[in-house]
């Protein structure tokens, strides 16, 4: 697989970004998932800048991530879909006590939406379980090991 660029800013077309609610952030970027998990996206971006390769994300997974996200249509046109997203692990325990692990796209949902719209593949960097725990600011389990 060709090495893809690390996540970065959107295109330099500042005129199209002036009124965009996503292009004018006020502080570090975080990602909230299901109102239960808060991820430090800035720290995740630093982690994936280590030279790892991005993987192609299955279209059904991309579609589900976009569907479950708040997408600002005005933002889609000026994001650069060549920047891979970032996928983290999430851990939780069901009401029955079962420990469950899943994945969530914490960075790049608008780029994913653009790839879907244009019919192109979407790529993302995968964080390890340890990295995912390190950027998890709120929510989830502290361990993927089931209770004894």
Ranking 22-26, 49-53, 58-62, 101-105 by mean pLDDT, the lowest is 22-26
Helix, coil or strand: residue 64: helix
Average pLDDT, the chain: 78
**What is the model's pTM?**
0.75
Torsions phi, psi for 110 (to 5 deg): -70, -35
pLDDT digits (tens, 9 = 90+) for 67-116: 887 777 877 888 899 999 999 998 888 889 998 888 999 999 889 999 99
For 46-66, what is the mean pLDDT? 95
Longest dimension (CA), the chain: 57
Inter-residue contact 138 to 38 (CB < 8 Å): yes
How, if at all, do strands 85-93 and 99-107 pair? antiparallel
Max mean pLDDT range (102-111, 112-121, 134-143): 112-121
Cβ neighbors of 9 (< 8 A, separation 6 or more) are none
End-to-end CA distance of the chain: 41
- Residue 133 pLDDT exceeds 60: yes
For residue 3, the model assigns a pLDDT of 38
Is residue 24 a contact partner of residue 10, using CB atoms and an 8 Å limit?
no
């Amino acid at each position: 697989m060709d090495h893809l660029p690390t996540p970065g800013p959107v295109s330099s077309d500042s005129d199209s970004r002036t009124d965009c609610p996503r292009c004018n952030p006020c502080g570090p970027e975080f990602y909230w998932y299901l109102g239960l998990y808060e991820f430090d996206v800035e720290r995740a971006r630093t982690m994936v800048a280590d030279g790892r390769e991005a993987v192609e994300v299955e279209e059904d997974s991309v579609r589900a991530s976009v569907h479950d996200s708040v997408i600002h249509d005005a933002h889609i046109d000026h994001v650069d879909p060549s920047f891979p997203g970032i996928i983290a692990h999430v851990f939780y325990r069901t009401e029955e006590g079962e420990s469950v692990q899943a994945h969530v796209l914490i960075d790049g949902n608008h780029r994913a939406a653009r790839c879907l719209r244009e019919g192109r593949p979407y790529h993302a960097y995968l964080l390890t379980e340890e990295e995912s725990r390190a950027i998890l600011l709120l929510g989830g389990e502290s361990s993927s090991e089931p209770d004894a």
